[in-house]
Amino acid sequence: MSKESSSPRYLILARRLRAEILAGRYPVGSRLPGELELARDLEVGRASIREALRVLAAQGLIQTTRGTAGGSTVRRVDHRDVIRMLGEDMETLAALQGCSVQEMEEVEELLEVSAAWLAASRRTPVQLAKLWSHIPTIEPGQTPTPAQIDTNLAFHYDIVEATGNRMLHLFAEPVSIVIHNHFRSRERDVTYYQQVLEDHRHIAAAIQARDAEGARDEMQRHLSHLRSGGKSSPRGSLGGLSFGL
């Protein structure tokens, strides 16, 4: 049985309407046909149409209002909406073992190393200040709080944002979230977090100096440290994937 045939009818309808919206049949700002018309055209009950529209509204594709003058209007989708949808799909894949952690890590490295390289050339003074603000101070021997751990993740978002490339942001952020959520429950000793902070300071310094090659190498080294549980490698020795940027 195919995935499509085994899905609830309302999800099949939602996918069909979503495809028509993305294909341009219903452009941004236009109204979808009413529930009765959609039910008649698609030969389904109004209940299935109503649930399909709720799915599209939850995805941020349409805005639905009730009442005599109500209806569903196609929204202009912000890249943040797409990031959220991609993140949910990636979480599902990881949870159901549709892809391995190693595959996710490889994608993360490809995206984040490229992001550090671009950010060094494109960052603004405001973005640089934000980057440094997301490197918390953790005293030696101190276990970081959950908020400080989240700040470390925000540091990576800042780098992607500093590239000015929304398409790169679209893919990099949800991958980072999935990886972060996967490893967050693991116990780490305090030296691991000190290594993370040291790596972040080196990355930020390279981006501040507009040293694209240095930022690339520092990010690649950092991701290698994360995979090895925080074990430091000598500067100039890089693990992981090989990049030709």
Secondary structure (DSSP) of 166-220: HHHHHHHHHHHHHHHHHHHTS---HHHHHHHHHHHHHHHHHHHTT-HHHHHHHHH
**Which tokens go with 236?**
């100039």
All domains of the chain in start order, with CATH: 3-74 (1.10.10.10), 80-227 (1.20.120.530)
pLDDT at 244: 35
| Distance of alpha carbon 245 from the chain centroid | 22
pLDDT at 243: 37
Q: Who contacts 151 (Cβ-Cβ below 8 Å, separation ≥6)?
A: 134, 135, 136
**Which tokens go with 6?**
């085994």
pLDDT at 242: 37
157's enclosing H/E stretch is helix 146-162
pLDDT at 239: 44
DSSP state of 79: H
Q: Who contacts 138 (Cβ-Cβ below 8 Å, separation ≥6)?
A: 144, 148, 190, 193, 194, 197
Q: Who contacts 242 (Cβ-Cβ below 8 Å, separation ≥6)?
A: none
Burial 49-64 (b: 16+ CB within 10 A, else e): bebbbebbeebbbbee
Strands 71-74 and 62-65 come out as antiparallel
Tens digit of each residue's pLDDT (9 = 90 or more) over 79-109: 666 667 766 666 666 666 667 778 878 888 8
- Count of alpha carbons within 13 angstroms of residue 203, beta-carbon side: 33
Q: Please identify every stretch of the chain with a pLDDT value under 50, giving residue numbers as ranges.
A: 1-3, 236-245
**Which tokens go with 125?**
């003074």
